[in-house]
Amino acid sequence: MSVRRTAATGWRVLTQLRRDPRTVAMILVVPPVLMLLLRCAFDSNVLLFDHFAPILIAIFPFVLMFVITSVAMLRERTSGTLERLLAMPMAKLDLLLGYAVAFGAVAILQVALVVAFVLGPLDVPIAGSVVALSVFAVLDALLGMALGLCLSALARTEFQAVQLLPAVVFPQLLVCGLFAPRDAMAAALQGLADVLPLTYAVDGVTRAAATSAWGGGLIEDLVIVALCIPLALGLGALTLQRRTS
């Protein structure tokens, strides 16, 4: 591993993003716009919106980062640049961490914007800690990024990469407690929810939004989500083959 290579990769990925202003605009503008949309949809039931808003602060960055990274990594695979980099003195982690640094920086910006929008113009009351909520949201974005890096190995084309969203992300959204409380779900689904990382991400933001105390449950959620990121990056490293058939 080398700081020079990781930094160079992060800078390169950011430069590529800068060349694609539409993607940057989508990353930054889409979450606040979706929040506004939802606020209007719940116009006569603002209390319900106030309940969902903090959860969505965590979910939107997760989904967006997942899609963007899985496509970016797939591009790296299909353009031959991945093979070139792996034929150079480059550690796989240099590459993955380079992506993590670049997209992590973007995620912080994205979360800052959506949090500011929800607290300001949309005036959602947050009883808990805004800092804890933001930390969770950034971790969720990084988790989405790490899963995207890792699972992009399953896709051969950009069509397939986009299909990973309904295949991998939707099931997690359905059982994570967003739509129905987890203890009201079938036992098998509860078991599934217990092993999916997004469950802890949603649980964490809900707690963070509700109380400013760094209680046991919150720390546990934080640790689990934080550990899933290097785990997914490690699995991602395994999918980078220097030798292919």
Partner 1 sequence: MNSVEVEHLEVHRGGRRVLTDLSIRIAEGTVTGLLGPSGSGKTTLIRAIVGVQRIFGGSVRVLGLPAGSAALRPSIGYLTQAPSVYRDLTVRENLQYFAAVLGVDGARVDRVLTEVALDAEAGARVDRLSGGQQSRVSLATALLGNPRVLVLDEPTVGLDPVLREELWSLFHRLGATGVTLLISSHVMEEATRCQRLLLLRDGSLVADATPDELLRRTGQSDMDAAFLQLVRHTGPAA
131/156 with CB nearer partner 1: 156
The span from the CA of 228 to the CA of 226, in Å, is 6
Which of 40, 47, 88, 184 is close enough to bind partner 1 by CB under 8 A? 88
Phi-psi region of 123 (alpha: psi -120 to 50; beta: other; left: phi over 0): left
Task: Tell me which stretch binds partner 1 (CB under 8 A): 31-39, 79-87, 190-198, 231-239.
Answer: 79-87
Contacts of 171 (CB under 8 A, 6+ apart): 192, 196
**CB 154, min distance to partner 1, A:** 19
21/125 with CB nearer partner 1: 21
Q: Is 206 in the site for partner 1 (CB under 8 A)?
A: no
Q: Is 21 in the site for partner 1 (CB under 8 A)?
A: no
**CB 32, min distance to partner 1, A:** 26
CB 239 within 8 A of CB 153: yes
CB 133 within 8 A of CB 155: no
The footprint of partner 1 (CB under 8 A) covers 4-5, 7-9, 11-12, 15-16, 19-20, 79-81, 83-90, 94, 242-245
